[in-house]
Structure 1
């Protein structure tokens, strides 16, 4: 490499900063730290979310916008194919593919002589929004990404066990992370949405079925907490029937729908919430849950394996889909909350356990360990078996 920076190309995400999505938030934190560690990082973004005009370097990270079709079913796979072709021309030292859908292109990337790292953020084929064919493609992406990449990263032990059981390979477990935030002094976002500090239940997520907004809306209505509001932050990437149903039910329940919030406004909404709830049926390792904990919030999460892996006390979990238990838990937490010292302990605990600097260092170390291990002939032999 002649002492030049390690050239890393990221593929499989919409773009960043301030673009909703777990993978997007993950790479938004990771990439600038990789730059500090000595990487020349280029992120291949989707034109629908980050067009060429918005691709100025950010915190040392470079961006290249590639055309993307406006289609929920096609945008990721088409963009990933174009990204692999672009990478084959530019020849980075490492092509880092994020998520199992884009990982479908791993064999092509290897056959084109690229060194490929794949991060498995979760079994996306379990998401409710996908039909049978899309699930099959995602399962194939997982299979090829895990079996044919030069290196594999998983963000939780749950996913590591899945990969070992299904594909017979081990993976480096490198979780999502969180920064210790400063509390904003302002409450402009609260004033805008007519919210009382400490008197609202918060959910931050994309508006997709597996986030189970309808469960939370129903439970909040059943809880009947005086002077509290339900606040839903986020929106759908593509308008659909689920989004329309959530809007209808939210209006009936008197919930506040803020749309996508970023920067200071989002920090204010986190900092002054009385309770954060994540009722999801599917997660990898939820960054929004870690972010809520980094503000010291009381949290409630469904008892799916990815949420349980965060390691909270049992009082912070409820059975997935059980509206009555969730409603009762909301009521209880609205009364007792957390003491100031408990909130500060929570902040310290989560930011020490899920530290972005350590995550970046582990990722960089994996890159270096794989520089001499990629050959065209090894993957060609594998594919012919």
Structure 2
């Protein structure tokens, strides 16, 4: 790789920059950045920004249909390259990753960092082309309800390739890290998702746009996919007996499916349900800041960024009792049995009737800021990179 002149990035002294050569990393396996819907996308967007601030030369290969520009663009010091992918759910990620590996081989980065076990199927090709590869396991994607038998087998094969054949391995969940280390007899670093703790709030007018009142609505921010279980939440909202509140579903579907159609139809039949579509930036921040309660009823998570974001706003939260959610160690009253709509309705009613004190909200925000900051996530990721580059 052609060496780049060493310049101190924002927040880093020139002396510190000289002590460590400027390294080049390529991220692959995601739709793109910035402001693209998805947990992996949010993870890479924030991590890439932190690595840039640490003096790394960062490039993200995204899928052109999710990016509004043609050709390589620099965003906050990160190079973002749109690359074609087919508009078919079963092929989009794997074809894009295949092409992206060849692009990475041409770029010759110090590290190719592949995210998620589906794209990890291409680790053997990346190694064959002489690339040093790190894979982050974001969760058991083969447990997602949308996949059939063949796709699930391919995802499990991708997990094997990522955990056995990559040079470095990361998992966003402690449980996933332990399981992968045991299953594949290889070290897997636990590096959690992070969260940006909000300090300044900007009014965007989104509340008025959708007829919402501050602290009078329940919020879920998630894609319309079966494992997020928006239908459970809508049914529970209808049964919880709080007609003076609204339910806001912030999100959408990359591909229209029978499930996304079911969500829209059910939402239309229940008074008080508001569909805002996918939101990001200040508009999403305003929805979080003014919610009365955040609910995450999902059946599958790696490590739930949206739940962490809600906690960072000091919101009361209610989540399904799956392993990924319970790893956050919330009080028992913050969980309900997965799929139990009656229990979810009771939990929502109780939370709405008993909002937390200002002191409790402050303590929650402080805990999230200390435990899940992105600078901490970046430093733990850099430890994996440095270990690999030192070999």
Give the TM-score normalised by structure 2.
0.93
Runs of 4+ in 1 over 3 A off after TM superposition: 1-4
Aligned residues of 1:66 and 1:79 also touching (Cα < 8 A) = yes
| SS of match in other structure, 1:74 | helix
Cross-structure match for 1:284: 302
Q: How does 1:1-385 map to 2 (within 5 A)?
A: 4-50=21-67, 52-53=69-70, 55-184=72-201, 186=203, 188-254=205-271, 255-373=273-391
Compared CA separation, residues 258 and 163, structure 1 to 2 (3 A): same
Compared CA separation, residues 187 and 112, structure 1 to 2 (3 A): closer
State the alpha-carbon separation in 1 of the partners of residues 202 and 57 from structure 2: 36
- For the aligned residue pairs, the C-alpha RMSD in angstroms reads 1.3
State the alpha-carbon separation in 1 of the partners of residues 337 and 53 from structure 2: 42
Higher RCO, 1 vs 2 (CA within 8 Å, ≥6 residues apart): 1
| SS of match in other structure, 1:202 | strand
Unaligned runs of 5+ in 1: 374-385
Aligned residues of 1:211 and 1:279 also touching (Cα < 8 A) = yes
* Cα displacement (A) at 1:264: 1.3
* Cα displacement (A) at 1:269: 0.4
Compared CA separation, residues 324 and 54, structure 1 to 2 (3 A): farther
Unaligned runs of 5+ in 2: 4-19
State the alpha-carbon separation in 1 of the partners of residues 175 and 383 from structure 2: 23
| SS of match in other structure, 2:120 | helix
Matched positions, count: 373
Task: Say which is worse superposed, 183-192 or 173-182, in terms of deviation.
Answer: 183-192
* Cα displacement (A) at 1:149: 0.4
Give the TM-score normalised by structure 1.
0.94
Cross-structure match for 1:380: none
Aligned residues of 1:52 and 1:64 also touching (Cα < 8 A) = no
Cross-structure match for 1:376: none
* Cα displacement (A) at 1:331: 0.5
* Cα displacement (A) at 1:177: 0.4
Q: Deviations over 1:158-196 (max 9, x none)?
A: 111220232222201100001210252526111111111
* Cα displacement (A) at 1:128: 0.3
